A and B are shown apart, each in its own frame.
Chain A
């Protein structure tokens, strides 16, 4: 296992796309959350009557414990950045036929896939720790007195981690199936930004919200919007919170299916 991870690290450590995309992740997560926090502070620090009303409506989304959920929601919008990295990394193995050489040099096909699984886990952990650092930084800055219930929503860290791993796994599977970097990238971005959102909206309206079972939506539902959205439609918001537990199991199931499919495909097909 260590040897597999070590080899994967040898491939990644001088891969420019790895550093570029991780750099964008390191900047975008604190950047996006920081921007939202700045807007929130701008509105709520207004001493006028309107500022006080907005402050009452929004509550404390950037203070403990709500900050765990708020940052998870905002960060989930940027999971596509490390997902692109995973997709490019596997499709480059096909473009340059380096995966074949790994097998020729003595890895079994299962070892190759295990190394890739560890690579996806490694990147998921890095993203998770960036999220955690942002939560702690914003949470401590914005919480005057850390109450005993400060960690009540810390399970959102786990939910965000699971969401990242699941969506990175899907991107990896797509790269493995399509093999060509640009085709895989185009399909992934089209599906993620356009097709799935359209289908989710359409199915919410026409098919009893069955769009929540789509590949990315299933894990998107792990990180519901911050609590102040509940002010808009309390019943719908409560329903989204109630579904989180079910989506944990669905996400785990989907992720297992992604990896079983990935291992099967790679073990069976000609390289």
Chain B
């Protein structure tokens, strides 16, 4: 089942086109990462999906239906910054979340605060919280009542390394329990560790989307080395069926069409040419490389 279906969304701010016909789908139970450099349209996209902004063109569906406010009650969301009543305590703010969304109960408010290590500070005013505590309260509000879907915009903002690791574990745990998580992030390493699906945006345009495995593995990259890399390089250039060859001081990389690299055949080929390989691995392209390749940043 599809949790979210986004179809040709467009949004402009004056002459700036923030989204240019973005389409993708989010399957149930996935952890869907939305990546892109600053100004790529990630927050605009999430804001439209949460009815904070309206799209100029295009449409989207939550749970297979045209969006309405009842759908948002099934979605726990943190958009941009934690938005709470500064004069109210953590507990009172979650009571408002509960009152509006109908999610959770008094006991679950306690549980949500415990989950993000804020239970001790539950009666403290939001205005007295540090940035990290505010962020954790926003995550607690999103988790309240265990919603089917969680939308996080930069969930690790303001958190220390321990906090970041905790959020990563939390997202993995939520995914295991069948929740669908949609998250926009700058932290490519984090996304690569937790996401099952990814969409990469650049200047409002969707560059690629789909399961992480498909997005990252567009080509098979085989890395080789031998005692005589110069000879290896010469022989490798004639290897049948390669798309590209890249040489460096220590390694030679052969690029094959996706799924066509056969390590035993490669090993045998070089052996028959009198070259004994000391290093032979099939490399998966890292998300960071893919991101920079698609967005043109370095």
Contacts and interface: CB of A to CB of B under 8 A. Distances in A.
Contact of A98 (B54, B70, B72, B83): B83
Interface string B47-61: 000111110000000
B52 A100 contact: yes
Interface in A79-93: none
A68 to B, nearest CB: 38
B102 interface: yes
Contacts of B83: 96-98, 100-101
A104 B96 contact: no
B100 A14 contact: no
Given A104-B50, A270-B52, A96 B96 contact: no
Interface in B82-103: 83-88, 92, 95-97, 99-102
B69 A106 contact: yes
B84 A96 contact: yes
A149 interface: no
B225 to A, nearest CB: 53
A100 B81 CA distance: 11
A271 interface: yes
B201 interface: no
A98 B97 CA distance: 11
Contacts of A250: none
Contacts, number: 72
A105 B72 contact: yes
A258 B133 CA distance: 40
Contact of A106 (B81, B88, B101): B101
Interface in A250-271: 270-271
A103 interface: yes
Interface residues of B, number: 29
B124 interface: no
B66 to A, nearest CB: 13
A97 B153 CA distance: 15
A185 B75 CA distance: 36
A97 to B, nearest CB: 4
Interface string A105-130: 11111010000000000000000000
B224 to A, nearest CB: 51
Contact of B84 (A7, A101, A270): A101
A207 B205 CA distance: 58
Contacts of A107: 69, 100
A13 to B, nearest CB: 9
Contact of B52 (A10, A11, A16, A104): A104
Contacts of B68: 108
A14 B88 contact: yes
A96 B87 CA distance: 11
Contacts of A108: 68-69
A11 B84 CA distance: 10
Nearest to A99: B83
A3 interface: yes
Contacts of B100: 7, 102, 105-107
Contacts of A100: 52, 79, 83
Contact of A97 (B53, B81, B92, B97): B81
A205 interface: no
A10 B96 CA distance: 7
A98 B85 contact: yes
Contacts of A98: 83-85
A182 interface: no
29 contacts: A3-B99, A6-B99, A7-B96, A7-B99, A10-B92, A10-B95, A11-B96, A15-B85, A96-B84, A97-B83, A101-B83, A101-B84, A103-B51, A103-B52, A103-B72, A104-B51, A104-B52, A104-B72, A104-B79, A105-B72, A106-B72, A106-B101, A106-B102, A107-B69, A108-B68, A109-B51, A270-B52, A271-B52, A271-B53
Given A14-B87, A270-B52, 8 more contacts: A3-B99, A10-B92, A98-B83, A98-B84, A103-B50, A103-B72, A104-B79, A105-B101
Interface of B: 50-54, 68-70, 72-73, 75, 77, 79, 81, 83-88, 92, 95-97, 99-102, 141
